Structure 1
Amino acid sequence: MIKNNPFLSDTYTSIWSNHFDGGKKPLTVDFLENIQFYKYAGLPLYINSGKTLTKGMDYRLHPAPINDHKKKVFLIYDVPTYFNTIRDIPENTTLKLLRSKQYPGFAIELGPYTNFNEYMLATFGKSSRYKLNKYKKRFEACFDIRYKMYHGDIGKETYDFVFDSFKELLTKRFDDKQITNNNLNPEEWQFYYDVAYPLILEKKASLFVIYDREKPIGVTLNYHSDSVLFDAITVFDIDYAKFHLGSVTIMKLIEYCLAEKIEVFDFSKGYFDYKTRWSNTTYDFEYHIFYDASSLIAKTLASTLKRFFDFKQKLRDKNINERLHRFTYKLRHRKSEVKTIDAPFTFHDISSDPLPNGLTEVDLNLAENHKLKMLAFEFLYLNDECFTSLKAFTDLTDQYYFIGTKKKVKVSIT
């Protein structure tokens, strides 16, 4: 069990019910403590409140035989094995349990470390540590960067601004990948918007934001228990991909966890390469199916659910789900432009040469200059220049020039 699981809180379950169960009061059962359910229409099936939108359910099995499971099935999604919820089922009861292993989970156990440097020394070699620190320093040198963790206090106007930016960044990211993201489903996104604000005020959630000046370029929605930080949704502006914002975000969140004495930084479900690099522990998400073994209907329903979930996981193991998300994206975006490969470019150092006459300054923040802005980011990264000091110019032949504080170049696009 974990203390103060945010997904079991009254705020979380009531808002989830308002969105997905018609605002009905969640149901409780005596043989399972600390967890609430809703009734699936037409079947003797009860499913945990929150369904698949939580990042980890836990519960306590009552030690004494209790018979309110009779002729029923109880499905609990997303139980992390490291929560250690399973206890022996009492004897002299018809209650039985089936478990279906689902997504892999990844986490960092931070208990052995007193500071960020200790974690880095234990996790990465000298070369990797150097690169990661360089990414962060280069990123902070090239832009006017500010980090903000909203936890316990955030104005509604600021919240709305950050969440609007959050959605824009996610949309931009997955349009670039040409894959459907379930978080952007209108119903699901509205739930996240409605639930995160009150949970932030209750210190059960947070928004970690990276600002370039006043513009959010990275946002992470986290949930908090007493000892675990759950990374729920994270995204960064793909324009800044050269600067490794994903790694910078993780480093800052690890620093936060250590400062706040948080024992586990949980990357949650799903396999991604970055999770294997940063994690020092893995676990499984399981679906738990409790049922009355004396009821043929309940027994049949439970075994059918297990077979169904086991089959779905086999499809995931073969990446069928990713192919499906790509297919559904194409169906919904049939008129989208096909991505084109940008033309190669070369920077010619003209630091010792005078600039030509008749140049016109270019505003890199205008949408029509986006591709040129991406070249400017390359210039910043390669030369340790700062965007706030950078100037871009063009002439009548569409020849471009970047002028920094240390270097100036002519841009040749071939």
Structure 2
Amino acid sequence: MIQHNPFTSSLFISVWCKNFNINTTTYNFKPINGLHFFKSKGELFINTGKNLTKGITYEITETIGNNFKNQVCLIYDVPTYAQAKTTKIPKNLVIKKIKQYPGFLIHLNQYTGIENYLKKTFSKNSIQKLIRYNKRLQTCFDIDEKMLIGNSVEKTEYDTVFNHFHKLLNKRFEDKQITNNNLNPEEWRFYQAVVYPLILENKAALHVIYNNDVPISVRLLYFSEHIIFDAITVFDIDYTKFHIGKISILKMLEWSFNSKYEIFDFSKGYFDYKESWSDLKYDFEYHIFYNTKSLKASLLANTIALTFKTKQYLRDKKFNEKLHKITFALKRGSKNNPIKVEILPHNKEEINKYDLQEIELTDDILYLKKYIVDFQFLNSEHQKNIKLYQIANQNNTLYLIKGKHNYQLLSVSH
């Protein structure tokens, strides 16, 4: 069982109901203890929070007296590692369990600290690379790190970080050219509304890495009594060469190992990094409760089960990834005149022949930022030493990145 689960708290439920226009009248069904349900369609009842939780658990507390008739109860996202035993199910009441997304976690309490964890999880070579990436990031930028948690977090600071969070997610999925459900306006409004009050109650946090006070990595975390849930994560893709995603995990785990928590849960969905950092893979299941004496309930329950099994089959076949790409293309439409940037060979003597005009990195040429950051990584150049030049008499198509000792020439065509 997940003790003091943030996703079943009254705060989470009330904000969720308000945001999604759910009738605040919720229902309880014996013998399911610890969950509230809302009425969906007909006789279908779904747990509050639906698929926006990162793990739901419950207990069966009675063997008789259940109030199921024609009703069917659907419970989303029950992690197999935290399920209570269900041996006390009343007669005629059935639970169908449908496997859905994979989940991944780290048992923090099985390690003495971050160094012990790294040593047992990664090769010596991988650890050295991780240290080098972190050192290179510190060398090239003015990096700061912060965990926004507790009642000292100001709303203005929270709003600033959350707005950057949204921009980075948009940027990330624009680059991948797929849709992301977190960016659905209704869903994002819910997150922005619920996370701040949970932060004040120490039930949520934002782990942020800054470059010159600008967030370049943001992670949304939730907390139960013993578990940290890694809910949504993003980093600025311009910093890809620095492996900022790995550095973010490292910094966050350093904080986690110094805390009281026993488990760090990467939550649902497969990504390579989750598998490599975790020490346990588990499954999320959808649970369906219904009374076998009711033909109506049996038909509804079996139809729901078949629907989710079909979805999982299509997910296993990567159909959902194709669908996200198609949805993205339909929403975005065609993009004319894509910008092409090419790195040109050059030498110092050739550079000295150009008429150079120093410029700022404005919004209309912001696509050059990635090339500037890559240049810093390759040459260990600090951003304070970087200058950008536009080369005159070239139809504004040539740019020069200049560091303390190195140059890079770029050609831009539309």
**TM-score scaled by structure 2?**
0.93
Residues 214, 310 of structure 1: alpha-carbon distance in 2 compared, 3 angstrom cutoff: same
What amino acid is the match of 2:309? D
Shift of 1:377: 1.4
RMSD: 2.1
Matched, 1:10 2:6: no
Matched, 1:94 2:128: no
C-alpha deviations, 1:247-293, integer Å up to 9, x for none?
11111111111011321111111111111111111000000011111
Residues 395, 310 of structure 1: alpha-carbon distance in 2 compared, 3 angstrom cutoff: closer
Matched, 1:359 2:350: no
Using the alignment, how far apart are the partners of 1:101 and 1:336 within structure 2?
Answer: 39
Residue number in structure 2 paired with 1:28 = 28
Indicate if the aligned counterparts of 1:31 and 1:69 stay in contact, CA closer than 8 A.
no
Consecutive unaligned residues in structure 1, runs of 5 or more: none
Using the alignment, how far apart are the partners of 1:288 and 1:215 within structure 2?
Answer: 42
Indicate if the aligned counterparts of 2:209 and 2:218 stay in contact, CA closer than 8 A.
yes
Residues 190, 299 of structure 1: alpha-carbon distance in 2 compared, 3 angstrom cutoff: same
Shift of 1:168: 1.0
- Trace 1:334-345 onto structure 2 (pairs within 5 A): 334-337=333-336, 342-345=341-344
Residues 366, 296 of structure 1: alpha-carbon distance in 2 compared, 3 angstrom cutoff: same
Moved more, 18-27 or 161-170: 18-27
Indicate if the aligned counterparts of 1:135 and 1:248 stay in contact, CA closer than 8 A.
yes
Matched, 1:388 2:384: yes
Using the alignment, how far apart are the partners of 1:316 and 1:6 within structure 2?
Answer: 28
Residue number in structure 2 paired with 1:379 = 375
SS in 2 for 1:344: strand
Using the alignment, how far apart are the partners of 1:392 and 1:297 within structure 2?
Answer: 70
Moved more, 55-64 or 285-294: 55-64
Residue number in structure 2 paired with 1:104 = 102
Using the alignment, how far apart are the partners of 1:254 and 1:338 within structure 2?
Answer: 43
What amino acid is the match of 1:396? A
C-alpha deviations, 1:361-393, integer Å up to 9, x for none?
222x31233344332212210111111232233
Residues 257, 168 of structure 1: alpha-carbon distance in 2 compared, 3 angstrom cutoff: same
What amino acid is the match of 1:126? K
Residue number in structure 1 paired with 2:271 = 272
What amino acid is the match of 2:122? F
What amino acid is the match of 1:235? V
Using the alignment, how far apart are the partners of 2:337 and 2:401 within structure 1?
Answer: 29
- Trace 1:214-363 onto structure 2 (pairs within 5 A): 214-337=213-336, 342-346=341-345, 348=347, 359-363=356-360
Consecutive unaligned residues in structure 2, runs of 5 or more: none
C-alpha deviations, 1:188-227, integer Å up to 9, x for none?
1111111111111111111111111121111111111111
Residues 311, 339 of structure 1: alpha-carbon distance in 2 compared, 3 angstrom cutoff: farther
SS in 2 for 1:343: strand
SS in 1 for 2:50: coil
Shift of 1:305: 1.1
Indicate if the aligned counterparts of 2:343 and 2:408 stay in contact, CA closer than 8 A.
no
Using the alignment, how far apart are the partners of 2:267 and 2:37 within structure 1?
Answer: 22
Work out the percentage of aligned pairs sharing the same amino acid: 44
Shift of 1:347: 6.4
